């Protein structure tokens, strides 16, 4: 039925959700997903303003990775995706979670699913994702609290009533990892459709003792209720079990010089086999209701409930190697967490034109209730060092609780934004958000110690867009955000933290966007992000943070995306960043390379054969905040990737992706000075796709 999921563009965007809309094409109903894209180039986004907006009219940096690009690069994880995103640095995440640094700000929680907060520490899959949107800079007006270097929003595949469509993907790589997934879109009745995505992945890589598996299933039903009202209900089950691998340690170089990652141990496991393990079981339910209240007034509400049961146990390098064949200090702990999230978000979008002045007004409310239980037990090792000349892995026993906390977070937000158009040449985005963030908890070790804090913050946003031509925009942007003292996971709060004001982030950005033609876009952004009351993880104590005062990140991003010719697609970017302590140039922030370059090309040799070529370069970066001359520095690296695409028929396609085709030794990411991930050697992945 043509009317199923016929939702106005503004309505779809009101909660940041990738919904479905129907357009007419020679009398046939065609369902497309908001925002729109063609190949690697996306033209619209809902992420930056919560109102479906052309990218050229968004006064902020945003990178959209389309499904076509995810497939062509054979990306299986958020780390895969973000290595090709300008200004993004992937963190190791202690071998149990996604972690990223954007504009000098490290986060494990600034992730969203269809515009709703997804802040639990785990590895996110891409099997049911239509696209990934990366917004840079403070974002409180749209998304609330956070680390404020930017956010990652995954846009979920949604049902349509087009036709019955069945797709399947299977792949295997040269390390022995393999996966299989299915994607079924089925009209059930004239006004109801089902999208069913499922995935199984067997994990393996070049590292000794690494293995694991992940599987997930996601049924999603959408229905037209009549009278302009639509509803959708999605349930996702995720099970992830893998080895916890925290990489290799550093080694000293010369006195007074930075440590470097130890070499010659690319595959060596610095843990204890059969002890290092991480697991997650998650149930995620998302419901949505949309309606049109009046001709120019749309309403939507999204609710998400998630139940997450996670643990990770690890033995890891806790110091630098004494020499190339000397010893490495080890430490260990086990850390289970349970989290229940309930988040509700409701939005009104009102098109209110006053003469020649256009107004697109967003009014929104958000409520969240998040319960967390976390414990930690430190391990006692049979040997507290690992002898590199004769590796014998220690045994470990875990003692009494070192941390046992329960916490509850409740937050309420109200926000208003107006996108004002003064004719064809000037647009203004102005908005304000009120947040009330309340945390209550108890540290149950020994005599129970309650902790609590309530913060109330206002977050402004102001953007100006000048359009000298329809396909060119020049913009300026100012925004603020904040991060409560409970951090991004609400696990504990010391007596000192209870008395500290939230961290504050202020972003200034100017830039330009140019649609060279309808299939090719170039963007330039200059930015400065100031952080006050800043804290950072203590590189010498995994359970503590240190106060560093104010920090500043300054930089520039240049990106080109789209079709150079009908046969040649490309996405390329260069980023320059300097992130340091204000007033002390010697203190540099962790995991911020000064120079980053990423380039990916796909060229169609003929109608059946295509080729891909990619290059990723990062200059040197510090593994932890540089407070000492000996802070570990990761060397620069350049990695070259390639691909071959074969279209056997309209229903069957094959591809081969080769990562690190030149077999360069490099260090992909880090968690701190002595948890460093060696990059994988040359490896190939074969993928087959079928569709009916």
Distance CA(265)–CA(270), nearest Å, equals 10
Residues 6+ apart with CB under 8 A from 605: 567, 611
Residues 6+ apart with CB under 8 A from 273: 209, 393
Distance CA(369)–CA(411), nearest Å, equals 7
pLDDT confidence band for 169 (50 / 70 / 90): very high
Q: Are 74 and 643 in contact (CB under 8 A)?
A: yes
Sole residue written with tokens 């990562």: 659
Q: Which CATH class is domain 9-691?
A: mainly beta
Q: The tokens of 49 are what? A: 């303003």
pLDDT for 491: 75
pLDDT in tens, 312-354: 999 999 999 999 999 999 999 999 999 999 999 999 999 998 8
Distance CA(408)–CA(450), nearest Å, equals 12
Strand 327-351 versus strand 28-33 pairing type:
unpaired
pLDDT in tens, 497-532: 777 788 889 999 999 999 999 999 999 999 999 998
Q: The tokens of 118 are what? A: 């997804």
pLDDT in tens, 612-663: 999 999 999 999 999 888 999 999 999 999 999 999 999 999 999 999 999 9
Length of the chain counted residue by residue: 692
Residues 6+ apart with CB under 8 A from 101: 88, 89, 91, 107, 149, 590, 591, 592
Average pLDDT over residues 206-233: 95
Q: Which phi and psi (to 5°) does residue 81 adopt?
A: -60, -50
- What helix, strand, coil percent values describe the chain, rounded to 5? 5, 60, 35
Q: Which phi and psi (to 5°) does residue 57 adopt?
A: -105, 15
In degrees, to the nearest 5, what angle opens at C-alpha 390 toward C-alphas 384 and 396?
30
pLDDT in tens, 404-453: 999 999 999 999 999 999 988 999 999 999 999 999 999 999 899 999 99
Q: Are 617 and 598 in contact (CB under 8 A)?
A: yes
Q: Which residue from 625, 538, 580, 673 is spatially nearest to 259, judged by alpha carbons?
A: 673
CB burial of residue 165 (10 Å; 0-12, 13-18, 19+):
middle
Q: Are 663 and 82 in contact (CB under 8 A)?
A: no
């Amino acid at each position: 039925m043509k009317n199923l999921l016929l939702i106005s563009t503004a309505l779809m965007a009101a909660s940041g959700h990738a919904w479905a809309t129907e357009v007419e094409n020679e009398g046939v109903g065609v369902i497309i997903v908001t925002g729109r894209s063609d190949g690697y180039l996306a033209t619209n986004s809902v992420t930056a303003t919560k109102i479906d907006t052309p990218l050229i009219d968004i006064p902020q940096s945003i990178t959209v990775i389309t499904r076509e690009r995810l497939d062509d690069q054979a990306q299986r994880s958020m780390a895969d995706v973000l290595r090709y995103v300008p200004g993004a640095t992937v963190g190791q995440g202690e071998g149990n979670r996604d972690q990223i640094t954007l504009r000098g700000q490290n986060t494990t929680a600034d992730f969203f699913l269809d515009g709703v907060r997804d802040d639990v520490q785990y590895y996110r899959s891409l099997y049911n994702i239509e696209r990934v949107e990366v917004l840079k800079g403070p974002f409180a007006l749209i998304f609330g609290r956070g680390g404020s270097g930017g956010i990652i929003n995954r846009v979920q595949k949604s049902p349509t009533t087009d036709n019955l469509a069945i797709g399947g993907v299977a792949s295997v790589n040269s390390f022995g990892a393999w996966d299989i997934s299915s994607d079924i879109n089925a009209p059930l009745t004239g006004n109801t459709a089902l999208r069913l995505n499922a995935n199984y992945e067997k994990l393996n890589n070049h590292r000794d003792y690494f293995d694991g598996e992940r599987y997930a299933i996601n049924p999603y039903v959408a229905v037209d209720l009549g009278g302009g009202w639509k509803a959708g209900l999605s349930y996702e089950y995720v099970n992830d079990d893998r080895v916890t691998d925290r990489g290799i340690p550093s080694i000293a170089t010369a006195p007074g010089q930075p440590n470097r990652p130890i070499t010659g141990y690319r595959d060596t496991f610095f843990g204890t086999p059969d002890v290092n393990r991480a697991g997650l079981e998650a149930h995620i339910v998302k419901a949505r209701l949309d309606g049109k209240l009046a001709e120019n007034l749309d309403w939507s509400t999204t609710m998400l409930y998630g139940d997450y049961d996670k643990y990770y146990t690890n033995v890891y390098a806790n110091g630098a190697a004494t020499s190339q064949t000397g010893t490495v200090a080890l430490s260990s702990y086990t850390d289970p967490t349970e989290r229940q999230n309930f988040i509700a978000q409701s939005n009104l979008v009102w098109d209110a034109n006053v003469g020649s002045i256009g107004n697109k007004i967003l009014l929104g409310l958000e409520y969240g209730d998040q319960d967390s239980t976390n414990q930690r037990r430190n391990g006692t090792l049979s040997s507290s060092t690992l002898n590199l000349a004769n590796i014998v892995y220690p045994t470990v026993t875990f003692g009494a609780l070192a941390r046992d906390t329960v916490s509850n977070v409740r937050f309420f937000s109200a926000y208003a934004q107006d996108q004002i158009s003064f004719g064809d040449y000037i647009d203004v985005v102005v908005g304000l958000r009120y947040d009330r963030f309340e945390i209550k908890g108890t540290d149950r070790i020994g005599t129970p110690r309650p902790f609590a804090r309530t913060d109330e913050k206002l977050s402004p946003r102001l953007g100006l867009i000048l359009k000298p031509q329809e396909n060119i925009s020049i913009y300026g942007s100012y925004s603020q955000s904040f991060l409560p003292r409970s951090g991004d996971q609400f696990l504990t709060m010391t007596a000192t933290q209870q008395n500290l004001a939230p961290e504050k982030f202020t972003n200034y950005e100017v830039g330009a966007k140019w649609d060279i033609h309808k299939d090719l876009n170039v963007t330039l952004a200059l930015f400065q992000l100031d952080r006050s009351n800043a804290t950072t993880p203590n590189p010498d104590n995994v359970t503590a943070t240190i106060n560093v005062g104010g920090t500043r990140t300054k930089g520039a991003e240049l990106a080109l995306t789209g079709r150079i010719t009908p046969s040649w697609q490309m996405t390329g970017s260069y980023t320059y960043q300097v992130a340091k302590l204000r007033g002390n140039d010697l203190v540099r922030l962790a995991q911020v390379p000064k120079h980053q370059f990423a380039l990916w090309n796909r060229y169609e040799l003929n109608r059946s054969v295509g080729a891909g070529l990619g290059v990723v370069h990062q200059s040197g970066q510090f593994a932890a905040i540089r407070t000492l001359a000996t802070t570990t520095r990761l060397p620069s690296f350049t990695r070259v990737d390639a691909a071959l695409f074969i279209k056997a028929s309209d229903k069957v396609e094959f591809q081969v992706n080769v990562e690190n085709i030149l077999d360069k030794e490099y260090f992909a990411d880090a968690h701190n000075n002595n948890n460093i991930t060696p990059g994988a050697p040359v490896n190939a992945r074969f993928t087959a796709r079928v569709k009916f």
